[in-house]
Amino acid sequence: MSILNSLVPAPGLRVLVTAGASGIGAAVARAFSEAGAHVHICDIDRSAIDRLVTDMPGITASVADASVERDVDLVFEDMLGSMGGLDVLVNNAGIAGPTGPIEDLSAHQWERTVDVNLNSQFLFARRAVPLLRKSTHSPGIVAMSSVAGRLGYALRTPYASTKWGVVGLMKSLAIELGPAGVRVNAILPGTVEGERMEGVIAARASSAGISVDAMREEYLRKISLRRMVTPQDVAATALFLSSPAARNITGQAISVDGNLEYL
């Protein structure tokens, strides 16, 4: 295989993407599908699923809350019915969580952020690993963390705590699964263009008592390249990590952030 051919996943790879109907998840699902993979997604938003599947009819899908164990079981039933096995799990489900000082946060806000951002990764990995052990097609897990998984993030403590947790889970699984040939890596996106980021900026601007435009400029000043990344930037990294070119890359937390210097 030439170096150029090794930079994309082999056609026919069976890929499961959680929260795959919009944002980064949808970009990842589209990228794998366009590369010739069989892709199954799950998402809590049925209308978003319908839009993606209409646009990309080769992708199959389940409606599910990634933090609910029974829903996860149903996703695997659907996925096995449509693909028969699994080669790559992209653990992407996550929410922004609350913005504010810790003394103003409720236990419910904390618990919901932990459930979606961290517990979901455990639930999907637990079900995926036996299938990945059987795969002969460069099996792996791509865990979606965040630049907040390597930097402290004032006023976003639930989010940052879960994203650090994702990195710890990834590094532990890389050691655990390495002897079976299963690779595990994390992607740490920085400030990603899109509706979700606009909501985060608006919430932080409100908390700080400044305009949304001023807060957006504050975010950009922290990035060496002075630009946000796109969902497609993140998807390209997920493709690479699932390709033969990355066969010896495991246990790594890879930032895709334009060098975000601080939060």
Which CATH number goes with the domain that contains 178?
3.40.50.720
Which pLDDT band holds residue 203 (cuts at 50, 70, 90)? Answer: confident
Residue 11's pLDDT band, with cuts at 50, 70 and 90, is: confident
Question: Does 263 reside within a domain?
Answer: no
Q: How confident is the model at residue 6 (pLDDT cuts 50, 70, 90)?
A: confident
- Whether 159 is a known active-site residue: answer yes
d(CA 216, CA 7): 34
Look at residue 215 in the predicted model and tell me its pLDDT. Answer: 94
pLDDT tens digits, one per residue of 24-73: 999 999 999 999 999 999 999 999 999 999 999 999 999 999 999 999 99
Flag whether pLDDT at 10 surpasses 80: no
Closest CA to 29 of 97, 108, 112, 90: 90
Asked whether residue 2 carries a pLDDT value surpassing 90, the answer given is no
Whether residue 202 lies inside any domain: the answer is no
Query: DSSP readout, the chain?
Result: --TTGGGSPPTT-EEEEET-SSHHHHHHHHHHHHTT-EEEEEES-HHHHHHHHHHSTT-EEEE--TT-HHHHHHHHHHHHHHHSS-SEEEE--------S-GGG--HHHHHHHHIIIIIHHHHHHHHHHHHHHH--S--EEEEE--GGGTS--TT-HHHHHHHHHHHHHHHHHHHHHGGGT-EEEEEEE-SB-SHHHHHHHHHHHHHHTS-HHHHHHHHHHTBTTSS-B-HHHHHHHHHHHTSGGGTT--S-EEEESS-B---
Q: What's the gap between Cα 62 and its chain centre?
A: 17
**If we measure between CA atoms, which residue out of 154, 149, 157, 81 comes closest to residue 121?**
149
Look at residue 200 in the predicted model and tell me its pLDDT: 80
pLDDT of residue 1: 64
Under 8 Å between Cβ of 160 and 131: no
- Indicate whether 250 belongs to any domain: yes
209 domain-assigned: no
In this structure, is residue 213 part of a structural domain? no
The average confidence (pLDDT) of the chain is 96
- Residue 212 clears pLDDT 70, i.e. is over it: yes
The answer as to whether 53 is a domain residue is: yes
Q: Which residue has the tokens 């990294």?
A: 237
Say how many domains are in the chain.
Answer: 1
Write down the catalytic residue from 153, 159, 219, 262: 159
- Taking only the tens place, the pLDDT of each residue in 80-124 is 999 999 999 999 999 999 989 999 999 999 999 999 999 999 999
Q: What residue numbers bound the domain in which 116 lies?
A: 5-192+230-256
Q: For residue 174, tell me if it sits in a domain.
A: yes
pLDDT of residue 5: 77
In a domain, 62, yes or no: yes
Alpha-carbon distance of 123 to 85, in angstroms, equals 17
- What is the rounded average pLDDT of the residues 149-173? 97
